[in-house]
């Protein structure tokens, strides 16, 4: 009940924090898509480079987020952005690369060789094959990677409140430090709902972007 009154009384600031949260994740994942999809396509040309890239990306994902922030603070301090939204965006971008690159790579390499041959047989250039056959088929799988990245990084962004990035994590961190269950529970529930909502929305989007010929 107390939580309810807290939410009612602080509605505006909760929404503001949520928007901050969404912005951080949105900007970072956006950049990750711009960088990751071309990388994912490029590495389909060479298996050992692909292995190396995916290996590095998987190591990065293994590093706990707060440790990654910790490792970046000294480096970004040299340009005066040790804490704040920049390290958060960079960390989330790095974490998002693995699912996006991996899914793009897998999707493109898994395109049925018969399709590729058919496309070549009807005289498509390799660029036409990529844009008209391979990418459309790969889009749903790439979207699944984006979805993984977004859901995972809504959690990372919550932790980024501890390096001053803002977002819904602020409610949790204040709730813990002030031993205020109202803020804490509000923050925890809000960030969970955001993750669940993002997961659901992106799943819908993923289905929408699947060419109707590929749905079963």
Q: State the residues that interact with another protein by CB under 8 A.
A: 47-49, 51-52, 54-56, 58-59, 62-71, 73-74, 77, 82-83, 151, 154-155, 158-159, 162-163, 169, 172-173, 175-176, 181, 184-185, 187-189, 191-192, 195-196, 199
Looking at the Cβ atoms of 173 and 210, the one nearer to another protein is: 173
Which spans in 63-134 are helix H? 65-77, 85-109, 113-121, 126-129
Looking at the Cβ atoms of 74 and 123, the one nearer to another protein is: 74
Can you tell me the distance from the alpha carbon of 30 to that of 92, in angstroms, rounded to the nearest whole number? 10
Q: What angle do CA 16, 165, 8 make, to 5 degrees?
A: 25
CB 7 within 8 A of CB 187: no
Looking at the Cβ atoms of 137 and 172, the one nearer to another protein is: 172
Question: If you compute the radius of gyration of the chain from its CA atoms, what whole number of angstroms results?
Answer: 20
* Closest approach of another protein to the CB of residue 194, in Å: 9
Can you tell me the distance from the alpha carbon of 137 to that of 110, in angstroms, rounded to the nearest whole number? 10
Residue 40 DSSP one-character state = H
* Closest approach of another protein to the CB of residue 191, in Å: 5
Looking at the Cβ atoms of 142 and 168, the one nearer to another protein is: 168
* Closest approach of another protein to the CB of residue 166, in Å: 14
């Amino acid at each position: 009940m107390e939580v309810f009154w807290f939410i009612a009384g602080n509605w505006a600031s909760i929404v503001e924090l949520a928007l901050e949260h969404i912005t951080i994740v949105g900007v970072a994942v956006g950049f990750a898509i711009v960088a990751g999809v071309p990388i994912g396509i490029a590495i389909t040309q060479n298996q050992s480079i692909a292995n190396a890239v995916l290996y590095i990306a998987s190591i990065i994902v293994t590093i706990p987020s707060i440790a990654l922030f910790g490792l970046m603070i000294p480096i970004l301090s040299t340009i005066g952005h040790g804490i704040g939204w920049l390290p958060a965006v960079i960390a989330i971008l790095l974490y998002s690369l693995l699912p996006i690159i991996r899914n793009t790579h897998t999707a493109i390499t898994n395109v049925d060789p018969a399709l590729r041959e058919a496309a070549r047989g009807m005289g498509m250039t390799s660029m036409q094959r990529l844009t008209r056959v391979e990418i459309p088929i790969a889009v749903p799988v790439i979207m699944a990677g984006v979805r993984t990245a977004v859901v995972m990084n809504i959690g990372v962004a919550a932790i980024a409140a501890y390096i001053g990035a803002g977002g819904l994590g602020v409610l949790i961190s204040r709730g813990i430090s002030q031993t205020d269950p109202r803020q804490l529970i509000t923050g925890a529930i809000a960030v969970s709902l955001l993750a669940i909502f993002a997961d659901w929305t992106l799943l819908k989007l993923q289905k929408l972007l699947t060419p109707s010929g590929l749905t079963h």
